[in-house]
Structure 1
Amino acid sequence: MLRFDFYSPEQEITLPLYDQKSVRVFIKRDDLIHPYISGNKWRKLKHPLQQAQHDKKTKLVTFGGAWSNHLLATACAGATFGFQTHAFVRGEAVSNTVLTLCNMFGMTLQFVDRTSYKNKQALFDQHFGYDEAAFFIDEGGYGASGVLGCSEMVAELTGNYDHIFCASGTGTTAAGILRGIQLQKLDSKLHGVPVLKSGEFIREEIARLGVSGSAEMALHTAYHFGGYAKTKPELIEFVKQFTRDTGILIEPTYTGKLFYALHDLLRNDQIDAGSRLLVVHTGGLTGLLGMLDKFSSTAEQ
């Protein structure tokens, strides 16, 4: 059994907006789990890694883009727990900080064109179909094992919350939290903030992942800022201000959009006064490395 002790407290933060709207806001600090096997990345990798170990597999094969937090988490987890790692990277060959870190942790990178990348199982079968040591992990840790890992977060909670907020990409994390709420028989309402356009697809993904009840969750689909990894100046300024005001680092791809949505809902009185809110910080902070130019500013003279 893999042993991995980690730290993920529930931390209350106070801001004038929260006082004005008479709400209490807590953050589930999954970003503190590990510098690289961070946030929901660890939760989605935990059970696949345990399965790989049980099946005596020694090579993890996974998928992601050139700035993928998942690739970096898998590379680090492989080095930590004694697996070889191989990644199919979407698009033309590039070099960047995240991929360099993946290399440092021992991951082999194989760039594939975007058309071939669409069929991940075919890629795995073509290159590793006869390799009995190879173990398939889907992009971003998507799948039932990822749902199970994310559901376990809810059992850790020490407080009672009226609302739980999370960012949504593939729907795995939201599905896991929803399953956890159901298993723990909580009255908490789940709020998902899709970071892609047309985010209603998250409900379908949750159902596809075998979790019922997505019709009862709230999906706030207006906060994608143009699509996945897209930003606008107002989002960048929000991320900078939130980080200054709280001392908690967030980034524009996931957690920035999540907290922006929460603040906008509060400003528009969409959350009842007296509510206790939990916001899940899903980590992924190395994603900032691909956006540093958006945060540069001239030093004050």
Structure 2
Amino acid sequence: MIPHLPRPPLHPRLPSPVEPVADDRFHRHGVRLLLKRDDLIHPDLPGNKWRKLAPNLAAATAGGHGTLLTFGGAYSNHLRATAAAGRLLGLRTIGVVRGQELAGQPLNTSLARCADDGMRLHFVDRTTYREKRDPATLARILREVAPRDGDGGTPYVVPEGGSNAEAVRGCAELGRELQGAAGVVGVACGTGGTLAGLAAGLGEGQRALGIPVLKGGFLGDEIRTLQEAAFGGPRGDWSLDERFHCGGYGRTTPALLAFAEDFEQRHGLPVERLYVAKLLYALLTLTEEGAFAPGTRLMAVVTGTPSP
């Protein structure tokens, strides 16, 4: 279970609802599509952002930290969620943003939202950002942006995307909520934390399918490392299909955008384009390829909402 936060008022909607989708493109192959509506957990911290952040917020507050420091790109949903959590819980937040060239430029809508929620933005060059896991680089960043947090302690550091051992254990609750609900559970993957936890929480005979939204082929090792840190070893039945990133993070194609618009019109569900659309598009393609046996209950985890 995700530990209780010591300060209100987050009030998540848990467990998130499961909704069946009547879609003849799946039905003609004998596959029943269901949606795990994690996007409805919290208006400011939807989906996997809640599940990954909540354990880290609990650890930060229990440890007496008054500041959260985390990392993200210029359009990072994780930065937005961390900033919102800080506002709701009365914590200071610092966002280390990839791209020193953005410093001094007008903020995009995502970063402006972070700033409005009180996040202090610190831009670093891309080399520094790539090396952020190096202890010496992280120590230098901490000296530059937050030598002390004002409460007599150092900031609590949340990794890029929020994926660490605490987050993975939080995402295991997602799997436990879905035990027995579907044979295959699909989720879009960025840093791999959600899939690592989801697979660990699912029951016997269920498998988790990850759809990476970045190219590179590195995610399998990341997931294994996260499960080792969270559980001491591998957990659950999971796999990745790397064909649907559309060229990399933040990239889309006309075919993907047309699919997302059509899905919205068919089902009245706003579809986030960079994660959820790629997941749903992948699940339809796999269904049409015969990857799922007739009679399969196929669950798609809706991890976020479209950007405003």
The TM-score normalised by the length of structure 1 is 0.89
Match of 2:135 in 1: none
Q: Which secondary structure state, in structure 2, belongs to the residue aligned with residue 154 of structure 1?
A: helix
Contact 1:124 1:136 in 2 (8 A): no
CA contact (8 A) 1:167 1:257 kept: yes
Percent sequence identity is 40
Alignment of 1:119-268 (within 5 A): 119-120=131-132, 121-127=138-144, 128-131=146-149, 132-157=153-178, 159-181=180-202, 185-199=203-217, 201-211=218-228, 212-213=233-234, 216-268=237-289
1:106 to 84, 104, 118: 118
1:80 paired residue among 84, 88, 98: 88
Determine the C-alpha separation between the residues in 1 that align with 2:121 and 2:244: 33
Q: Post-superposition shift, 1:279?
A: 0.8
Check conservation: 2:36, 2:299, Cα contact below 8 A: yes
Equivalent position of 2:39 in the other structure? 31
Change (3 A) 1:5 1:186: farther
Instruction: Name 1:64's counterpart in structure 2.
Output: 72
| Distance in 2 between residues matched to 1:84 and 1:198, nearest whole Å | 34
Q: Cα offset for 1:284? A: 4.7
Structure 1: gaps spanning 5 or more residues: 290-301
User: Aligned with 2:243: secondary structure?
Assistant: coil
Give the alignment's TM-score, normalised by structure 2. 0.87
Label 1:62 to 1:272 Cα distance change in 2 as closer, same or farther (>3 A): same
What are the ranges of 5 or more consecutive residues in structure 2 without an aligned counterpart?
Answer: 133-137
Checking the alignment, whether the CA contact within 8 Å between 2:270 and 2:305 is kept in structure 1 is no
Contact 2:227–2:234, Cα closer than 8 Å, also in 1? no
Listed one character per residue, the Cα deviations across residues 234-264 of structure 1 (whole Å, up to 9, x for unaligned) are: 0111111111111111222111110000000
Aligned partner of 1:102: which letter?
C
CA distance in 1, matches of 2:279, 2:268: 17
